[in-house]
Structure formats: structure tokens, C-alpha cells
Amino acid sequence: MKLGSRLSGIRSKTSEIQDAFGASASAPLWGFFLLIGIYLVGYFMVRFVSTSDGFLLIGGARIAYRSLTGVTSSLCNLCILLLVVFYRKWGLIVSLAMMVLSVPMMVVELFRGNYSVIPGFFTNILTLTAALLIYIFMQRAGKYQQKLQEQAVTERTTGLPNRFAVTELMNTLIQKNEPFALAVINLNHFKSINNALGQQSANDALCQIGSRWLRIAENGSSGTRDFVACHGGNEFLILLRDWTSDEQLQKSLECYAAALKEKIIVDDVDFVLSAAIGCAVFPGDAGNPEDLADKAYSAMIRAKQTDHNGCILRFSPEMFRMDRFMETERKIRSALDNNRVFFVLQPQYDMSHQLRGFEALARFRDADGTLVDPENYVPVAEKAGLVDRIDHTVLFLATEFFGKAVRETGSDAILCVNASVRHLMRSSFIDEVKTALSRSGLSPSQLEIEITESVMIDSVEEALNCISRLTEMGVHVAIDDFGTGYSSLSYLNTFPVDILKVDQSFIRNLDSGEDARQFVAAIIAIGHVMHFRILAEGIENQQQLDVLREIGCDYIQGFLWGRPMCPEEAAKLLAS
Ligand code: C2E
Ligand code: MG
Ligand code: MG
């Protein structure tokens, strides 16, 4: 069978497309009869006024009935045109009938010697011509409109409804709060079919698959009420309704998968395909078409990864998290490869508002320029093994900038750089720090490495070794997010660190609860006993600052005195 004829066979077979768009809007029937009524009244008024010798008195003025002929006949002509515009074929038929019926009456009038009907006769012919022209033009426009509408909801290759049609149908069902499942079906290894047989034959294969699935949907053999669509490429969408249990939904989808087991023959070559199927359900999994499609797509991707020979999976939140994870990982890689990672600097102060230094915080922009928050990407970068590349980038960029700024301003402020667990434990870390210092010309005493507390817990020995080497070089070391891990005071005592950074989660409640105040006071006291200086993170208001002053905190970092800023702004602060 030729591709074209098969396409037309599939195209628009499903009446569900109308579901998606609703019944086509048409003018109401009463309007039809109203226009005919007005025409008839107008027509008989024309007859009446054209033969009457009477007068109409309006505000003392005498107006001859005959002079109203033009008004009433214009009204009739308007009705004819409106009938054609609003009721197309039937409007035209009725208009023609009414005008034709008026001809014998005119002829009778002429025989009676009433020649005043002659201009009316010509007006009628002109109106009829205009009505005919309007009708022909509207028919043509209607055809184009229909074609455009069909194209808008049709996928070109298979002739099946497209994604837009499915989305419209989903919107309609969501409005009615009717449950449905959306399945995304991706044909496995279709690329090799494309490469081996060529695009034309591959398209033919897609059409064969589309028509098989359409048959299943139309004869109801899946056991559910289904709407088959093609998303383009080797991806199809099926919207399923009226299932009673998860098993039935699964069986219905298996029915579509089973249809692929039958051989596909294209250009005398036969082959069998399989598909990865992912599905998500309204309202259980998502409440709008976009989320539902995203989730069904996630399930499909997972199905593809699970079994390359065909697998059906229902969406679960775990899949989405993994997808988000992979997406973020991809963004981080692309930012690192394309030098889109940069840093901002947040100032740290002593309690008398003297600048102590800055913490360098990594930032990166997405390919479209959107700023991504470290809270979103740091955990992913850590898990994906990319955080050391981020650390490395920030270490080199920030020291280079800070070295120059310090030379220009003569400031003795400190630059604090975060180091992840992975990065710190790498044998090359110390060399990296040395290189960064020598390249930037920054003095080791003006660099501080912040290590998250959890690093210590995992490998005390290694951490101690690394920290000792840093301090031997003259670099400061700070323990970041202190209080959030499981610090053992016994080993903390042995670390040659300079600063404990109290995590902002303790500071947040400082102004409201006595417990929080006592806790932070205890940390500060113990820290001081161990000869650490204490820096509190996340100070947002004056009360928190007042409490910290009272309980003997040494330094603060927070929005109250300074948000993370661009290097240029930080340079101005250094200079001042
Ligand atoms: P952190 O090292 O504890 O950094 C302090 C975080 O607290 C920063 O968030 C900072 O913007 C935020 N902060 C400071 N003051 C306030 C405040 O008053 N209120 C609030 N709500 N937040 C405040 P940011 O920049 O989002 O960084 C989050 C975490 O990401 C950092 O926590 C750090 O652990 C990590 N990170 C950032 N840059 C790097 C990096 O270059 N390497 C590594 N390994 N981790 C980084
Ligand atoms: Mg930090
Ligand atoms: Mg912190």
C-alpha cells in the first residue's frame, strides 16, 4: 500500500479529535427563522408601501409611505446577506427560494402597470449576486480553515493526532475531573531502522505501527477507552480512560506492546520492534498536562534504561528525582565545560563591624542565562563527582581576583574558599592550593579553606593530615556548618583549625528561643576553650546580632551586614 493512501486511511479516523476541540460553533436555529421572519415582514411592507398613497406623520412632518420602500427593501437585502453569512448553504438555499418566489409577484405587478417594481427587481438580482459571491468565498475560506485546523492537530508522518490534540483532550478531561492515564511510547532501536532502510521506509514502518494501535483503540480490544496520537519521531502517546484497576491499565498497555510483536514488512524487509512505555495518571500523579507528560516521559526513560527490549513502567516520584538529578548534572557539566561557573563574595565582619574577609560562593548560569542556586546543585555535584571541579574553578578564579585586589588596596582581609570532602581528600589538593597561591600572589595567611564538618567524621586521619599540611603552609582552616554533623570534641581538639563556623540553622531561632541561645552560647564557650574563634553564619536581624554579641561570638557573616556580592563590589568594599 502506498504511504499516502495509508496516511489518509489513518488520518482523522478518530472522532476523539472533536472531543478535543468541542463541537464546531454554529449560529442558533432561532436566528435563522428570525431572519426569514424579518425578510417576509419587510417584503410585504415593501409591497404595501410601494402601492399605498398614504402618509406617515412624524413630529408634524408628512412622510409618504412610498418613500419608505428603500428602507424596507434594504432591510430585506440585509436579511438575505446575513442568512448566507451565518447559515451558509441553507441560508443561500432559503434566500434563493424567497427571491425566486418573489419573481411571479413582480411579474403580476408589471402586468398591472406598476412599473415601480423594476428597480426592486434589479436590486434583488444584485443582492443575490452578492450573496452568491459571499457564499463561494466563505466556502473556500472554510476549506482552508478546516485544512489548517486538521494540520494543527495532525502529526505529519503518521497522520495521527499530534501532541497538541492530546493536550487539548487532557485539558478537557481535567476540566471534567475525569481520570485518565497518559502513556508515552518510545520505539526501541528505531534509529538503526532509519539508518538501514532510509527515512521513507522508516516512516512507512511508523505508519504501520500507528494504524495497528489505532485499530486497537477503535475496536476497544485493549479493554479501555483509548486515544492514540503521535508525538513525532519514534514517539507515540496514548491517552487511556475507563480502567478499573492498575492491573487493567497494565494489561491495556501490554496489548499495545503486544501489537509490536507482529512482523512489520517494509520494502520486502521484515522486522520486529519493541517499545519502552511509561505512563502517568491524572489526578494521582499530576494535575496538569505538562506535569503529567513530564512524569510519563520520566517513566518511559526509566523503562528504556531497565530493558532495551520493551518494558512498561508507571511513574513513581523516585524516577522524577533521578531525572532532575541527571538534568542538573548535565547542566553542571555544561557550565564547567563552557566556563559558566563563577563566584560571588560574601563579607565577614568582626563584632565591631570591621571587615574580616570574604567567603567565595560558587554560582553558575544555565545555558539560557538563568542563575542556578548552590543549594540546588551542590548536593548533585557532590554525588556526581563534579564538586571538586567546581571547587577547583572557584579556588583559582577567587584567589586570582583577590590577590590582585589585595595588591591594589593593601588590605589584609581574608579570602575563604569552600572545599568539598572529595576535593580535600584528593592527593592533588595541597598542590592545587599552592599553585593557586603562587599564581595569584596571595599570601597563604590571607587564604582560609572551609571544610564541612562531615568531612572530619568520615576520615579523621586523612583530614588531620591534610589540615596540618595546610596550616604548615600558613593557610587558615575553618570548620564549616559546625553543629550539623556529629563532631567528636575529642578529635576536634586535635585539629589545628582557626575558626568554627556555626551553622545558620542555630542562628535562625536565636532571637526567639532561650534553648537556641543557650546552645549557641555553649558552642562558643567550648570553642573558645579549645582556642577556636567563632563565626556565626546567617545573621539576618539586629536581635540575632545583639544576642551573639552578648554571648561572645567573634565574627559574623549574614545578610544583615552583607549579602553575597559580585567581585567588583567586593573590591570597592576592600578599598574602603
Ligand atoms: P556555606 O559554605 O555554609 O555558605 C553559606 C551560605 O549561607 C551561602 O549560601 C550564603 O549565601 C548563605 N547565607 C549567608 N548569609 C545568610 C543569611 O543571612 N541568610 C540566609 N538565609 N542565608 C545566608 P549559598 O551561596 O547558597 O551556598 C550554600 C552552600 O553551598 C554553602 O554553604 C556551601 O556549603 C556550598 N557551596 C557554595 N559554594 C561552594 C563551592 O565553591 N564549593 C563547595 N564545595 N561548596 C560550595
Ligand atoms: Mg562555607
Ligand atoms: Mg556554612
CB atoms near residue 121 (< 10 Å): 15
390 located within any domain: yes
Which of 129, 152, 175 is the last residue before a domain boundary?
152
Q: Is the same domain home to 172 and 301? A: yes
Alpha-carbon distance 89 to 139, whole Å?
9
Ligand nearest to the CA of 507: 1
Residue 6 lies inside a defined structural domain of this protein: no
Q: For residue 416, which ligand has an atom nearest its CA?
A: 2
CA 490 / ligand 2 centre spacing (Å) = 23
Domain contains 15 = no
Taking the CA of residue 393 as reference, the ligand 1 atom at the shortest distance is 41
Furthest-apart CA atoms within the chain: distance in Å: 128
Name the residue at shortest CA distance from atom 25 of ligand 1.
361
Q: For residue 507, what is the domain's CATH number?
A: 3.20.20.450
Note whether residue 10 is domain-resident: no
The C-alpha cell at 13 is 479516523
Q: 538563568: which residue's cell?
A: 370
Ligand 1 site-directed mutation target among 361, 391, 535, most atoms within 8 Å of CB? 361
User: Does some domain include residue 7?
Assistant: no
- Tell me how far CA of residue 265 lies from CA of 189, 203, 271, 453, in angstroms: 16, 12, 7, 64
What DSSP line would sit under 433-487, residue for residue?
HHHHHHHHT--GGGEEEEEEHHHHHH-HHHHHHHHHHHHHHT-EEEEEEETSS--
185 plus 96 within the same structural domain: no
Give residue 230 CA to ligand 2 midpoint distance, Å. 49
> Which pLDDT score is estimated for 322?
74
Q: Which atom of ligand 1 is nearest to the CA of 557?
A: 15
pLDDT, residue 23, reads 41
User: Residue whose CA is closest, atom 4 of ligand 1?
Assistant: 361
State residue 453's pLDDT score: 66
Residues 58 and 122 in one domain: yes
- Residues 6 or more apart in contact with residue 450 via CB below 8 angstroms: 359, 416, 417, 418, 419, 478, 479, 480, 501
Q: Considering only CA atoms, which of 394, 380, 388 is closest in space to residue 339?
A: 394
Report CA-CA distances (Å) from 83 to 31, 79, 470: 9, 6, 91
User: For ligand 1, atom 23, which residue shows the shortest CA distance?
Assistant: 538
Which ligand approaches the C-alpha of residue 448 most closely? 2
Q: How far apart are CA 566 and CA 556, in angstroms?
A: 19
Cell of residue 402, nine digits = 583577590
- In angstroms, what is the span from residue 402 Cα to ligand 1's centroid? 19
**Closest to 374 in 3D by CA, of 360, 356, 357, 354:** 360
Pick the residue whose CA is nearest to atom 45 on ligand 1.
Answer: 418
How far is ligand 2, taken at its centre, from the CA of residue 569, in Å?
A: 20
Shared-domain flag, residues 138 and 168: no
Q: Which CATH number belongs to the domain containing residue 301 in this structure?
A: 3.30.70.270
The closest of 81, 78, 73, 77 to 131, measured between CA atoms, is: 81
* Residue 196 belongs to some domain of the structure: yes
CB contact set of 407 (below 8 Å; sequence gap of 6+): 441
Residue with cell 536581624: 541
On whether both 364 and 469 belong to a single domain, the answer is: yes
Q: Which three cell numbers stand for residue 270?
A: 521484515
194 Cβ neighbours under 8 A, 6+ residues apart: 202
Its pTM surpasses 0.85: no
Q: What spacing in Å lies between the alpha carbon of 328 and ligand 2's midpoint?
A: 21
Q: What is the CA radius of gyration of the chain?
A: 40
How many CA atoms are closer than 13 Å to the CA of 134, on its beta-carbon side?
20
Name, in order, each residue with C-beta under 8 angstroms of 30's C-beta and a sequence gap of 6 or more. Answer: none
Ligand 1 centre to CA of 383 (Å) is: 18
Integer Cα distance of 305 and 328 in angstroms: 19
User: Cell numbers 409611505 label which residue?
Assistant: 65
Give the E-state strand segments of 115-215 in sequence order: 180-187
Ligand 1, residues 418, 454, 565, 566: which to mutate, most atoms within 8 A of Cβ? 418
Exposed, middle or buried, 286 (CB in 10 Å: 0-12/13-18/19+)?
A: buried
- State how many domains the chain has: 3
Q: Best mutation site among 378, 539, 548 for ligand 1, i.e. most ligand atoms within 8 A of its Cβ? A: 378
Backbone angles phi, psi at 392, to 5 degrees: -60, -45
Ligand nearest to the CA of 345: 1
Do 92 and 183 lie in one domain? The reply is no
Question: So what's the pLDDT on residue 24?
Answer: 43
Q: What is the pLDDT along the chain (576 residues), one digit of tens a residue?
A: 444 444 444 444 445 554 444 444 468 889 999 999 998 888 888 777 766 777 777 777 777 777 777 788 888 889 989 999 999 889 899 888 888 887 887 788 788 887 777 877 788 888 889 989 999 998 898 888 888 877 788 888 899 999 999 999 999 999 999 999 999 999 998 888 888 888 899 999 999 999 999 999 999 999 999 999 999 889 999 999 999 999 999 999 999 999 999 999 988 888 889 999 999 999 999 999 999 998 999 899 888 888 767 789 999 887 777 777 888 888 899 889 888 999 999 999 999 999 999 999 999 888 788 888 777 788 888 888 888 899 999 999 999 999 999 999 999 999 999 998 778 878 889 999 999 999 999 999 999 999 876 655 566 777 788 889 999 999 999 998 887 765 566 677 777 889 999 988 888 888 777 788 888 999 899 889 888 999 999 999 999 999 999 999 999 999 999 999 999 999 999 888
- Are 186 and 142 members of one domain? no
Distance 245 CA to ligand 2 centre (A): 51
Residue that finishes a domain, picked among 248, 283, 315: 315
Q: Is the peptide bond before 347 cis (omega within 30 degrees of 0)?
A: no
Cβ–Cβ < 8 Å for 281, 179: yes
Residue nearest to atom 3 of ligand 1 (CA): 481
Amino acid 276: pLDDT: 94
The amino acid sitting at 281 is V
Do the strands 225-232 and 235-241 form a parallel or antiparallel pair, or are they unpaired?
Answer: antiparallel
Residue type, 564: P
pLDDT for position 42: 83
For residue 484, the ligand closest to its alpha carbon is: 3
User: How many angstroms does the Cα of residue 504 sit away from the middle of ligand 1?
Assistant: 10
Choose the final residue of a domain: 112, 129, 152. Answer: 152
Which ligand has its closest atom nearest to the C-alpha of 420? 1
Residue 67 lies in a domain: yes
- Answer yes or no: do 288 and 369 share one domain: no
The ligand 1 atom nearest the CA atom of 362 = 38
Residues 6+ apart with CB under 8 A from 554: 350, 351, 533, 534, 535
CA 564 / ligand 1 centre spacing (Å): 9
Question: Which residue's CA is the closest to the ligand 1 atom numbered 8?
Answer: 361
Pure H helices in 52-68: none
C-alpha distances out from residue 236 to 289, 291, 571, Å: 16, 17, 56
Rounded distance from Cα 452 to ligand 3 centre (Å): 8
Residue nearest (by alpha carbon) to ligand 1 atom 30: 374
Compute the distance from residue 494 Cα to the ligand 2 centre, in Å: 21
Q: Are residues 391 and 252 in the same domain?
A: no
Tell me how far apart the alpha carbons of residues 331 and 372 are, in angstroms, rounded to a whole number.
9
Does residue 202 share a domain with residue 80?
no
Question: How far are the Cα atoms of 393, 411, 478, 574 from residue 406, in angstroms, in the given order?
Answer: 20, 5, 21, 8
User: What is the atom index within ligand 1 of the atom nearest the CA of 420?
Assistant: 44
**What lines the ligand 1 site, CB under 6 Å?**
346, 361-362, 373-375, 378, 387, 390-391, 394, 418, 420, 450, 480-481, 504, 537-540, 557-559, 564
State the residue range of the domain holding 135.
22-152
361 C-alpha to ligand 1 centroid (Å): 6
Q: What's the pLDDT at 54?
A: 74
Q: How far is the CA of 378 from the centre of ligand 1 (A)?
A: 10
* Whether residues 131 and 176 fall in one domain: no
Angle between helix axes 317-337 and 387-409 (nearest 10 degrees) is 40
Which one of 372, 537, 539 would you pick to mutate in the ligand 1 pocket, going by the greatest count of ligand atoms within 8 A of its CB?
537
Task: Tell me, yes or no, whether 336 and 295 share the same domain.
Answer: no
Ligand with minimal distance to 450 CA: 2
- How many Å apart are CA 539 and CA 532, to the nearest integer? 20
Confidence at residue 476, expressed as pLDDT on a 0 to 100 scale: 95
Residue 9 lies in a domain: no
Task: Compute, in angstroms, the gap from residue 419 CA to the centroid of ligand 3.
Answer: 11
Identify the helix (H) or strand (E) that includes residue 31.
Answer: helix 29-51
Helix (H) or strand (E) holding 230: strand 225-232
Sign of the C-alpha dihedral, residues 23, 224, 9, 230? positive
Whether residue 563 contacts residue 346, with contact meaning beta carbons closer than 8 Å, is answered with: yes
Enumerate long-range contacts of 560-566, CB under 8 Å, 24 or more apart: 561/347, 561/349, 561/353, 562/346, 562/347, 562/349, 563/346, 564/344, 564/345, 564/346, 564/361, 565/344, 565/345, 565/346, 565/347, 566/344, 566/345
Q: Which residue has the cell 476541540?
A: 21
**Nearest ligand by distance to the CA of 503:** 3
